Amino acid sequence: MRAVRFHDHGSTDVLQVDEIDRPDPEGHEVLVEVHGAGVNPVDTYFREGSYEPFTLPMIPGIDFAGEVAAVGEYVEGFSEGEAVYGTGIGSQHYGGYAEYAAVPEDRLVGLPEGVDTVAAGGAGVVAVTAWRALIDHAELQVGDRCLIHGGSGGVGHVAVQVAAAAGAQVITTASPKYHDRLRELGADVVLDYHRDDLADAVVEAAEPIAGQADGVDAILDHRMHEYLQFDADVAATGCRVVGIGEKDQNVGFTQSSAARGKDLNLTLMSMFNTPDFRPRLSKLASLMATGEIEIQVAETYGLDEASEAQRAVLEDSRLGKLVLTP
């Protein structure tokens, strides 16, 4: 089979397509014929060496979706030909940038009929992150006022839809060219993150309680080094802020009075700490089947274009996900 691998750490130039043996699934593994594999910033961290892969040469790719090709002898509940998707490989197992991937059975679930496997291939990291942040950590409730920074991003565009499905009032920020689409995905208010009065606009957009606009109840922040003080300033009392961030961010308040005065609740999380992927993946698959969550595929790439995909995931502006299609 064909697979993208890197034999040494370095720039995108170290990615190459190799012809290797198709893996045989071990006892608790499912062999998946990959239709789509999401491209995520974390993939680049393993390649450049800031995150250490479990072995070299390494097949990157945390996310995958496709069709069951074979199952290990102890696997129950999956059958050949079934559509599946999942996440959480690529750090301790070979990843999804390949024609086939042997996946531990606790990292995947079946996909309902009608869900596109290419789009689902880009769902895992961003969808589970959005769910964990808003549902598990922020405990989003019907009627909560929720601010999502960067609504056009991979996590952001799914978070908008998760928050809308939960019955929250959704406020998000994005470049103007994405505003109409984000409203279609469920955002109630979309604001240009470049505007000088952004904090005032967020507070004003939040539906007032007892006639007084006092801020938002939950915030999903992926750039805490820039926005953590902003979060405190636009928060209502008791606001739950969940930070997902990227590597090496220095997180801190320029002044802590707003955070203390509002009993701000701050949680920093990583998708990789999810105790069990399957319940979240199953709920998200159901929402994809009903159309309440739609994974936006901004662009697809072949395996031989993996270098360009990893460059683009860090450098280019887009709405949605980049997906490799082996």
- The pLDDT tens digits for 168-198 are 999 999 999 999 999 999 999 999 999 999 9
Looking at 3.40.50.720, 3.40.50.10540, 1.10.8.60, 2.60.40.420, the CATH number of the domain 127-271 comes to 3.40.50.720
Please, where in the chain does CATH 3.90.180.10 lie? 2-123+295-324
The mean pLDDT value of the chain amounts to 93
The reply to whether CATH 2.70.98.60 applies to domain 2-123+295-324 is no
Burial per residue of 98-136, b for 16 or more beta-carbon CB atoms within 10 angstroms, e otherwise: bbbbbbbbebbbbbeeebbbbbbbbbbbbbbbbbbbbbb
Residues contacting 28, CB < 8 A, separation 6+? 72, 74, 75, 104, 105, 106
Of the candidates 238, 275, 302, 271, the residue with the CA atom closest to the CA atom of residue 133? 271
As annotated, the residues of the chain forming the CATH 3.40.50.720 domain(s) are 127-271
Residue 19's contacts (CB-CB under 8 Å, 6 or more residues apart) are 1, 2
Length of the chain: 326
pLDDT at 223: 86
Q: Which residues of the chain have pLDDT under 50?
A: none
Res 213: pLDDT: 65
CA 27 centroid distance within chain: 29
Per-residue confidence (pLDDT) for residue 201, from 0 to 100:
94
Q: Of 125, 43, 36, which Cα lies nearest the Cα of 324?
A: 36
Q: What residue spans of 71-221 are helical by DSSP H?
A: 117-121, 124-131, 154-165, 179-184, 198-205
Going by C-alpha positions, the residue among 279, 324, 280 that lies closest to residue 302 is 324
Q: What is the pLDDT of residue 274?
A: 93
249/45 Cα distance (integer angstroms): 14
Cβ(297)–Cβ(319) below 8 Å: no
Give the per-residue pLDDT at 199.
92
pLDDT at 197: 95
The residue ranges of DSSP E strands in 128-285, in sequence order, are: 145-148, 169-174, 189-192, 216-221, 235-243, 265-268
Predicted TM-score (pTM) of this structure = 0.94
Supply the pLDDT for residue 306. 98
H/E element, 32: strand 29-39
Q: What is the pLDDT of residue 248?
A: 57
294: three-class secondary structure by DSSP: coil
Instruction: Give pLDDT, residue 209.
Output: 63
**CB-count exposure of residue 309 (10 Å: 0-12, 13-18, 19+):** buried
Q: How large a percentage of the chain has pLDDT more than 90? A: 86
